[in-house]
Amino acid sequence: MAVAGRFRHIFKWSRWAIGAAVLFGALSMFLYPGGTVLDPNATGYSFFQNFISDLGMTVTHGGQANSLGAALFIASFGAVVLASVGCAAGFIRLLGSSSRGRGFARAGATGALLAAACLLGAALAPANRALVWHIWFSRTATMCAIPSLVLFAVATARDGRFPAGVSIAWMVLTVALGAWFAMRWGPGVETEAGLTIQASVQKAVALILVGTVTYQTYQFGARSSR
């Protein structure tokens, strides 16, 4: 554990990165001029009618410029990517001494890094300019993340040093991402009810992601310092 202890700060940095992502995202919401898929004339950002990706649009649904907000959106997603990379790297180092969980952790980390790369791609492909690519990157990130989280859950369960809550948290996030992926077959955004459901599920998944990474970095950091 002495070697792992040298990397305990990685988890703290990952947690700070998630905090920065939330801050940048909140500022982007504050600056969003307005406009939704169904109501281009809406004012400001609606938690239940706007998607997170709307924040990355350089021109909103209402035709208003959103350059600064889009830049903050990219910064937010970039911070999430940094947190994911740092968490994955630290996770591999932490489980490197355990033959029972090492292989699962490495496989999971590979998928997590691919998901992070796709997430960054989605941020750099604003929906108003490259909608097809934005959707492709977003869906691919989800498809890469789901099996990776399952592998992380197995790795921590087999390792034996972690409380049951760690594996459970991975699985909760897995189910949440699965639910969001399934929304592609859910109610369409052509109606107000459908748009509300889609946008709300997306926000719920984002909150679960932030909570999971925060919880896991505390748990991993505590064990890497022993």
Q: What is the pLDDT of residues 192-218, one digit of tens each?
A: 999 999 999 999 999 999 999 899 888
User: What is the per-residue DSSP string for 79-118?
Assistant: HHHHHHHHHHHHHHHHHTT-TTTHHHHHHHHHHHHHHHHH
pLDDT at 165: 92
**Helix %, strand %, coil % of the chain (to 5):** 75, 0, 25
pLDDT tens-place string over residues 31-87? 999 999 999 999 999 999 999 999 999 999 999 999 999 999 999 999 999 988 888
Q: Which of the four pLDDT bands, split at 50, 70 and 90, describes residue 103?
A: confident
Strand partners, 65: 59
Residue ranges covered by each domain of the chain: 2-224
In this structure, are residues 148 and 109 in contact, taking their beta carbons and an 8 Å threshold?
Answer: yes
Which range (19-23, 42-46, 87-91) has the least confidence? Answer: 87-91
